Structure 1
């Protein structure tokens, strides 16, 4: 089984795309062109990271922001799965502290990433959608996701990594997606003998559901705190019959407990 570092290396390359700030309805408020590079260093355990953002949209011009960092190891806050898909976030929800996380999907020459932000009072703030394409490829953006595209039965495999054990637990997974009202989402999931159900709509008072461009959706509590267990989820329909889900869970003390990747095909 590949290591976390090996899984991280599946993201190597030059990725061209954009960072888009979204409102609560998934509409783009502001967008900035970007080039992100992950390059293997001379040392096997060294990766050079560079992110350039271009406020004027000209990728051949001077960047408005230029960040560089070297990675030699990975912290506990980030989890990489065998496909290269990853998620990261705070290890502990704390009062008076902003909460956030990132979901990073990769499939072929595409990456679909999402940053989730909550204010220091725990209230949902906004999302940043990052759509990336491997430089030199012919990869294309996917259509905006609608509930109808997810309806039906799906089956596949799930990998779960817990906070106290980095090796993934593999299990077969099946789930059914339905919509009780326009714009709503109901997912009944059976994973490793356990069944769970989640339902949310655009007007749900407890859960924020966002449909996005490039085949993505996001589901989070409208308010998070360190006294209630909760989960945050992002999904990416990378092909009409391929759905990938990332679920990050926190317990009733606000501690991060596990991250699950589900890759499923339509039955």
Structure 2
């Protein structure tokens, strides 16, 4: 099994793409072309990250580090999630997710304001330098509706053995709603969502959960407002192929403490 450091180094290279901001309703705000360079220095004992916003006068942002803190956890394939270890009311809060697939990367930043309301998301679509920029279509309901069989792996902040289990997700479309049924060895639940443009809104236990369908096969699922003393999760998804989807879920408990992060690799049946 590779180390967290080695998994991050799988992302090394020069990545060309853009930071695209969306509102909490899924409305386009702005797009900024970017170049990201991730390189290993000192026999890979140091990692340097250089972020350049193309077409702007601002200098590149350079960050060098020799270790990873617990706010970021990476999976064997190079996918990752990072964010606050603890949610606190009246403070800004957020998380970043990243998927790595050959010469393509998809990342997303989800931000909440000081009132704990979901504020905006930044979708980052990247392609390795000197490779074709082959972008997936925007995610649609038609692509998601159906039966998905998956395998999940959960990583824990206390470094206990990763947990692996199967998942079964069914998405059904009615005239005005989407019905979702999720089954794992640990839980089974059904929920329904109203649909407005590219936004799906689920109401669960007094909490509104928003899913946004975004360009390049991307999606997110977040609470519209994080309620104090109530567990919650943040999710990012990527339809990498028409019948293969990756999802990363970052869970927090009722005290606001980060519990675990799960990668789901699922295939449409």
Asked whether the two chains share a fold, i.e. TM above 0.5, the reply is yes
**Length, aligned pairs only:** 260
Corresponding residue SS for 1:149:
helix
User: Alpha-carbon deviation of 1:181?
Assistant: 5.1
Q: Which aligned segments of 4 or more residues in structure 1 are displaced greater than 4 angstroms?
A: 196-199
Match of 2:168 in 1: 174
The correspondence of residues 112-191 of structure 1 with structure 2, limited to 5 A, is 112-165=106-159, 167-180=161-174, 182=176, 185-191=178-184
SS in 2 for 1:6: helix
- Which residue of the partner structure matches residue 216 of structure 2? 214
Per the alignment, residue 59 of structure 1 pairs with none
Following TM superposition, by how much is the alpha carbon of 1:9 offset from its aligned partner in structure 2, in angstroms? 1.3
Give deviations 1:136-165, integer Å, cap 9, x for gaps. 111411100011101111223211012222
Residue 68 of structure 1 corresponds to which residue in structure 2?
62
Closer, same or farther: CA 5–180 of 1 in aligned 2, 3 Å: farther
Return the alpha-carbon distance in structure 2 between the equivalents of residues 238 and 99 of structure 1: 28
Q: 2:267 is matched with which residue?
A: 265
| 1:197–1:235 CA distance, 2 compared to 1 (3 A) | farther
Matches of 1:250 and 1:136, distance apart in 2? 40
Which residue matches 1:6? 6
Whole-angstrom CA distance in 2 between matches of 1:192 and 1:12: 36
Q: Which moved more, 1:160-169 or 1:141-150?
A: 160-169
1:4–1:189 distance in 2 versus 1, CA, 3 Å: farther
Name the counterpart of 2:197: none
Normalised TM-score (structure 1): 0.90
The CA deviation at 1:4 is: 1.3
Q: 1:114 to 1:70 in 2, by over 3 A?
A: same
Change (3 A) 1:86 1:137: same
Q: Partners of 2:201 and 2:141 in 1: how far apart? A: 15
SS of the equivalent of 1:165 reads coil
Once the two structures are TM-superposed, the CA of residue 42 in structure 1 deviates from its matched residue by 2.1
Give the direction of change, closer, same or farther, for the CA distance of 1:198–1:80 in structure 2 (3 Å limit).
Answer: farther
Structure 1 residues without counterparts, runs of 5 or longer: 57-62
Change (3 A) 1:124 1:215: same
Q: What SS does structure 2 have at the residue aligned with 1:214? A: helix
Structure 1 distance, partners of 2:12, 2:107, is 15
Equivalent residue, structure 2, for 1:255: 257
**Structure 1 contact 112–236 (Cα < 8 Å) conserved:** yes
Measure how far apart 1:193 and its partner are.
4.4
Superposition RMSD on alpha carbons, in Å? 1.9
The worse-fitting range, judged by mean Cα deviation, of 235-244 and 38-47 is: 38-47
1:5-154 correspondence to structure 2 within 5 Å: 5-55=5-55, 64-154=58-148
Alpha-carbon distance change, 177 to 204 in structure 1, aligned in 2, over 3 angstroms = closer
Q: Distance in 2 between matches of 1:151 and 1:173?
A: 16
Distance 1:82 1:249 in 2: 19
Question: What does the per-residue CA deviation read over 1:52-104, in whole Å, with 9 as the maximum and x for residues that have no partner?
Answer: 00245xxxxxx534101112111111110111111111111112101101111
Question: Which consecutive residues of structure 2, in runs of 5 or more, have no partner in the other structure?
Answer: 195-199
